[in-house]
Amino acid sequence: GAVVASLHGHNRATAGRKIPISSDVIPGIILLLDSIAILSGALIFYFIFVGGGVDYQLYLAAMLFVWISTLLLLQFAGLYQFDAILRPWASVDKIIAGFATTILFLLAAAFSIKVSATFSRLWVGAMALSGCFATICLRVAAAQIINRLADAKMFTRNIVIVGNGDQTAALLNHLERSPSRFVTVIGIFGETPEKT
């Protein structure tokens, strides 16, 4: 049968224009961007609406709760999978639902331990809206960058197809009908050399 071998090194023709980054790294980068979006908004609006004070530990705990809970909900919704990262607009409703659920959890927890009156309502609302908006914007920007790198063949996986049977023909037909911007065929070799 056909054997498809993935090449991890640079080939001479593309060494100058290929970025050595794996698609496995992308979810980690998106998680970092989401973290920045959530925590930066929470901190900025904390200093705007609260301005420090004796309850800073309570606010810090709330920030960490929102950060971790939101990331877990987005992970549970499958938003750190590569396909979801490439299509951020299709995931907007899940992102909004993740933030809304987290804020409801936060308010329920604050009410249950009788500290809900301590929190600034403006801070909670601004933190949720800014975090959600920034997360969507950063994901849209990241998806555009990834897609542009893929279109320029700067972010692709080179493959060599080995084989000359029906499976090879079927694979080539499939790649022709459904081309992937993240896969580049750089060579096709028969299983046995042709006799001359």
Contacts of 66 by beta carbon, 8 Å cutoff, 6+ apart: 38, 42, 102, 103, 106, 127, 128, 131
The two beta strands, 3-7 and 157-162, are antiparallel
pLDDT at residue 6 greater than cutoff 70: no
Per the CB < 8 A criterion, the answer to whether 7 and 186 are in contact is yes
Higher pLDDT, 12 or 107: 107
Q: Residue 103: how many CB atoms within 10 A of its CB?
A: 20
Strand partners of residue 159: 6, 185
107-152 confidence digits (pLDDT tens): 998 888 877 777 788 999 999 999 999 999 999 999 999 888 777 7
Counting Cβ atoms within 10 Å, is residue 83 exposed (0-12), middle (13-18) or buried (19+)? Answer: exposed
Q: 43 to each of 23, 48, 189, how far by Cα in Å?
A: 31, 9, 57
> Is the pTM above the cut of 0.85?
no
Of the two residues 58 and 20, the one the predictor is more confident about is 58
48 CB-side CA count, 13 A: 13
